[in-house]
Chain A
Amino acid sequence: MPGATLSRWTMSYFAAALICLIAGLAMTASGFGYPSVPMNDPASLVVVHLIAIGWLAQLFAGSLLQFVPVIASRQLRSPHLALPILLSAMAGLLLLLTGFMGLADVAPLWTWMLPAGGILLTCSFTSLCWTVVGTLLPARPYTLPAKFVILGCLPLIGAALVGLLFTLPLSGLTGDPYLIDLVLAAGPSHAYLGLVGWMTITAIGVSYRLLAMFLLSPEKTRRTSRTVGWLMAGALAVVICGIVLDGTGSPAGWPLPAAIAAAGLAVLLYALDIRWIYRERKRKAVELNVIASLVAVGMLVACFVLFAASILIGNLAGMVMPVAYLFVFGWLTGLGLGQLYKIVAFMTWLEFYGPVLGRMAVPRVQELVNERRGAIWFSLYFGATAAATVALILDMPDMFRWITIAQLAAVGALVFEFVQTRRLAMAPAATRLPAGIAARRLFLPSFNGRSS
């Protein structure tokens, strides 16, 4: 059947993701993990994976389950996998984090925990790719966003498998010298596969569709957009070569910087595309979610400017963490929160008002949010993120922790806004639904068969 319905479990993904984001920020603010201890300390790995898998990956997974059917204009392949994918990711993450805490001597360590977590996470991500690719592949001809999303699935599987291999020597299950070399050398490539390979490629692809849609801009496949895809694919190939070299005991220094340089070029072209989409828009008033996304794209460009500058001044080692931080919190998290602001409102509107459209007065989607208040929280969030990056560059970990509290406050306020939207608290009185309808479905699906 053509068309898309509401993804039944996407709100649950978002709820899980936001809880992980808040927990991660709270840990950092309390001095647990980086920058209070070095990056390769197990405590830092707890925070990093809580943010990367708990927050970002679940945010992306939930969004993909909703938007892949929109991109393909067909129903999701195996929609019944949505809940198992979420549950196995959460269980796998919990095992992984407990394992890292064991390594950090915060919790007892059982050898099987890390590999078991890795296996569950790999199963979860593989199943996600199965539904995503399985939905997109039959929907020919492929649109640009579809190609990007399909391309992004490859590094996702790669990141999961490399991570799974890491767990074997880390847990002490094997002393294989090749695997130990891999752990020592391929950590950054593992991060690249997940954060750039999967998330950034996917985010770029989906944003071509979403931003054009929100701005009423013509949707064209520009040559620059295709070049972005090819550069990203080339960079991925280089990273994978690098990982193979790491694993065969002859690590080389060049693959990752080369890949980041290619990805940086891709990002500049992407920023040009976004500029075109923005300029050709038919809709003059720009909503908060688009502004937040544009700020996030700006921070993405800033990442690569900082990266290039650090190579020029010869201080790459000192800048890696600030750049990675800005990438995760300025670009991926900024974009994610910005889009959530719209997606939550839209899905809520469709869920509660879709069945009565045309039969009673309904609010506009924009009336389910309070943009004036939201703008304050987004300003606080992006301001804190920029300040935190500066604190990392200047090596001021205590200042960084104070700023993280501001960031945490901004995210907490945004979560409150999402909850208000879900509860239809801001809907005009004339369009209110009978009390209790929305309150019961904050982040769990209704079971009346409307969504899939």
Chain B
Amino acid sequence: MTQEFKELDVRPILRNGGEPFEAIMTAVGALQPGQGLKLFAPFKPQPLYRVMDAKGFDHDVVELDGGDFEVRFTPRLEEAVALSENAVSPELWAEPSVELDLSDLDPPEPMQRILAEAETLGAGEVIFAVLAREPVFLFPELTRRGHQWVGNFDRDGSAYRIMIRVGTGAVNA
């Protein structure tokens, strides 16, 4: 995939004695998901690297002919996280009380194991499971039973990780 960049030249701002930080942050805020930022500046904007790193961007610097610099900020590839529509603040969930490695099981056994485990846990307890595939048929069943979940693939797409927060009362169909 070729990286798309939005370009921003802060040299005129600096030449006029202005402060480019705000313009840069405005540009960063307006980036599309996956889009990078190409910044032209008369010096290496060292302080910016940490700010952008915290926002999930890597950088590389190219020195241009006239002594100026082109800095490319590339968004790090984060695997998209999927979550159930009933999921509330996953970052506040308890530590998992059960961890399951189901990556060697044939589908649909992982689904069966997870649902069975959820039956034994109390409301608010969390299951963490690793599977070989995205359990597409499990998702609706979890939601239907009132459980919340978040999940994503690992970086190379070889395993699917899911966190499930057991719900209070199962919503039986």
Point out residues on A near B: beta carbons under 8 Å: 1-5, 69-70, 73, 141, 213, 216, 218, 282-283, 346, 349-350, 354-355, 357-359, 362, 364-365, 448-450
A15, B112: Cα distance in complex, Å: 28
**A-B residue pair count with CB separations less than 8 angstroms:** 63
In whole angstroms, what is the CA distance A283 to B105 when docked? 9
A350 to B114 CA separation, bound complex (whole angstroms): 15
- In the assembled complex, the Cα of A5 lies from the Cα of B141 at a distance in Å of 9
- Give the contacts of B99-138 with A (CB-CB under 8 A): 104, 106-109, 111-112, 114-119, 132-134, 136-138
Q: A218-B158, A282-B104, A450-B173 given as contacts; is B112 within 8 A of A357 (CB)?
A: yes
B85 at the interface (CB under 8 A from A): yes
A sample of 8 more A-B contacts (CB under 8 A), given A2-B136, A357-B112, A357-B116, is A1-B143, A4-B140, A5-B137, A73-B82, A73-B136, A213-B133, A350-B108, A359-B119
Given A213-B107, A357-B111: A1 in contact with B116 (beta carbons within 8 A): no
Q: In angstroms, how far is the closest chain A Cβ from the Cβ of B139?
A: 3
Least Cβ–Cβ distance between B158 and chain A, in angstroms: 7
What are 30 contact pairs spanning A and B, CB under 8 A?
Answer: A1-B84, A1-B139, A1-B140, A2-B84, A2-B139, A3-B136, A3-B137, A3-B138, A4-B136, A4-B137, A69-B136, A70-B136, A70-B137, A73-B134, A73-B136, A213-B133, A216-B104, A218-B158, A282-B104, A349-B108, A350-B108, A354-B141, A357-B115, A357-B116, A357-B141, A358-B114, A358-B116, A358-B118, A448-B173, A449-B173
- For chain B residues 119-173, which have a beta carbon within 8 Å of chain A? 119, 132-134, 136-141, 143, 158, 172-173
Q: Contact between A362 and B112 (Cβ–Cβ < 8 Å)?
A: yes
Report the minimal beta-carbon distance from A325 to chain B, rounded to whole angstroms.
35
When distances are taken between beta carbons in the complex, the residues of chain B under 8 Å from A1 are 84-85, 139-140, 143
Of chain A, the residue at the smallest CB distance from B157 is A219
Interface 1/0 per residue, B1-40 and A, CB below 8 Å: 1000000000000000000000000000000000000000
Q: How far is the CA of A4 from the CA of B137 in the complex (A)?
A: 5
Closest chain B CB from A277 CB (angstroms) = 14
* Minimum-distance CB pairs A-B, first 4: A3-B139, A358-B115, A358-B116, A4-B136
**Among B104, B137, B139, contact of A350 (Cβ-Cβ < 8 Å):** B137
Closest chain-A Cβ to B47's Cβ sits at a distance in Å of 34
Range, interface on chain B? 20 to 34
CA distance A357 to B145 in the complex (A): 11
- Docked Cα-Cα span, A277 to B136, in Å, equals 22
By a CB distance below 8 angstroms, the chain B residues around A357 are: 111-112, 115-116, 141
A362 to chain B minimum Cβ distance, whole angstroms, is 7
Output the nearest chain B residue to A209 by Cβ-Cβ distance. B133
- The distance in angstroms between the C-alpha atoms of A90 and B143, with both chains bound, is 36
| CB contact under 8 A between A358 and B117, given known A70-B136, A73-B134 | yes
Residues on the B chain within 8 Å of A5, using CB? 137, 140
Measured CB to CB, the nearest residue on chain A to B142 is: A3
- In the complex formed, the residue of A with least CB distance to B113 is A358
B4 to chain A, nearest CB (A): 14
Q: How far is the CA of A132 from the CA of B139 in the complex (A)?
A: 21
Q: A213-B107, A216-B106 are in contact. Are A358 and B112 (CB under 8 A)?
A: yes
User: Per a CB cutoff under 8 Å, which of A2, A283, A448 touches B82?
Assistant: A2
* CA gap between A350 and B1 in the complex, in Å: 37
Give CA–CA (A364, B112) in the complex, Å.
10
Chain B minimum-CB-distance residue to A3: B139
Q: Taking CB as reference atom, which chain A residue is nearest B158?
A: A218
Closest to A349 in B: B108
CB-based nearest B residue for A452: B140
Give Cα distance in the complex from A450 to B136, angstroms. 15
Contacts of A354 in B (CB 8 A): 137, 141
- B residues less than 8 Å from A69 (CB atoms): 136
Contacts of A449 in B (CB 8 A): 173
**Are B108 and A365 in contact (CB-based, < 8 A)?**
yes
| Least Cβ–Cβ distance between B166 and chain A, in angstroms | 11
CB-CB under 8 A from B82, the residues of chain A are: 2, 73
